[in-house]
Amino acid sequence: MIITVTPNPAVDRTLQIGRLQEGAVHRAEAVRVEPSGKGVNVSRALTVNGLRAPAVLPVGGAEGAQLVALLDAEGVPHRAVPVGGSTRVNVSVCADGRVTKLNEPGPVLRPEDGPALLDAVAGLVDEAGTPGTPLWIVGSGSLPAGLDDGFYAELGARADRLGARFALDSSGPALRDGLRARPSVVKPNLSELEELCGRRLPTLGVVVDAAREVGRATGGSVLVSLGRRGALLVDDDGVLLGRDDVPNPYPVGGGDNLLAGFLAGLSRGLSQARALREAVAWATVAVRTFGSVGRAVTEEDRASVRLASDPPDDLPST
């Protein structure tokens, strides 16, 4: 079982238009409303592909009720923690092959809300009652106001006490503090890794060096999403670059689906290399889909992924 924790979930509205012109009135060609937030997207992708992945999330207001209803409609198991304020609504505009995102800040959580989220995770583990089954707990996304930057470190410590492996996908101080929990998997994108390391990473060689620094600090694997360049896995076994050259007209949700596929592979007992192939296949399906999560991944999708060990150091990272 893979449990995701999304401290700042959202209802996402994605609009597709032909061309975005500042100051003009546009009519959407297509609209999609989805439950969202990084961990929520991980749970959704896992559910589509037949794995049990409960989502733990705070919800509030009419928007929170809508978020729960959307999760129910998709059959995504969840544990909603009621909070004050309203769940945020984010808007994405797809135009000219690019995505413009407008994200609300989210509600301010109360001092008791963080412990309630941690207790919800423990409750799900107790209810599962399946010792010996691989268990992952995923901390994913930004932290809303009211939650301490150390929340993910606390979540990782709770995962350790519950006998679970911990995966982390965040940014800024939340990511930096979360590394204290020594997650088994860290999944930054390129800009998040640059922020964490405090320097630009213009080539794959320096990206690998930065990922190794993180891996030495945590003792785990580092999975770096590189957008159209693919994904880089750095661990004790070496370095692998995975990519698929299929066009991706909707570059939304790739990183969340990358992490979902990687954890799905590991939970099924695949090697790190095969898990990376799975991850890139899941991400590729997602970015070819209007919305944040794609269809179930097929063997054809997996077969189109190419892996390269020790890619050239001077290859541009973007």
What does the pLDDT average to over 275-297? 89
Active-site option among 113, 169, 235, 256 = 256
Considering 131, 155, 183, which residue would you say is the last residue of a domain? 183
CATH number at residue 238: 3.40.1190.20
CB-CB contact of 267 with 2 (8 Å): yes
Given pLDDT bands bounded at 50, 70 and 90, which one contains residue 128? confident
Q: Which of 183, 207, 239 is the last residue of a domain?
A: 183
pLDDT of residue 252: 57
Same-domain pairing of 159 and 193: no
Mean pLDDT of the chain, nearest integer? 93
Query: Do both 177 and 104 map to the same domain?
Result: yes
Supply the pLDDT for residue 141: 96
104 found inside a domain: yes
Q: What is the pLDDT of residue 97?
A: 76
What local confidence, expressed as pLDDT, does residue 253 receive?
A: 63
34 has pLDDT over 80: yes
What is the reported pLDDT for 217? 95
Average confidence (pLDDT) over 162-186:
97
- Whole-prediction pTM: 0.93
Q: Are residues 207 and 167 in the same domain?
A: no
pLDDT over 90 at 246, yes or no: no
User: Is residue 174 assigned to a domain?
Assistant: yes
* Residue 173 within a domain: yes
* Percent over 70 (pLDDT), the chain: 96
Structural domain containing residue 139: 1-39+49-183
pLDDT of 249 > 60? The answer is no
163 falls within a domain: yes
Q: Which pLDDT value is given to residue 263?
A: 98
Does residue 132 surpass a pLDDT of 70? no
The pLDDT of residue 31 is above 60 = yes
pLDDT of residue 131: 63
Q: What is the pLDDT of residues 40-97, one digit of tens each?
A: 999 999 999 999 999 999 999 999 999 999 999 999 999 999 999 999 999 989 888 7
* Number of domains present in the structure of the chain: 2
One domain, residues 202 and 282: yes
On whether residue 44 sits in a domain, the answer given is no
Indicate whether 173 and 303 sit together in one domain.
no
Q: Is the pLDDT of residue 130 over 80?
A: no
Type of residue at 77:
P
Q: Chain-centre distance of CA 165, in angstroms?
A: 16
Tell me whether residue 256 is one of the annotated catalytic residues: yes
More confident residue, 250 or 288: 288
**233 Cβ contact partners less than 8 Å away, ≥ 6 residues apart:** 221, 222, 223, 224, 239, 240, 241, 242, 272, 273, 276
Residues 205 and 140 in one domain: no
| Residues 6 and 119 reside in one and the same domain | yes
**Residues 152, 8 within the same domain:** yes
Q: Which of 135, 155, 183 is the last residue of a domain?
A: 183
Q: Are residues 113 and 65 in the same domain?
A: yes
pLDDT value of residue 251: 55
Query: Is 190 in the same domain as 179?
Result: no
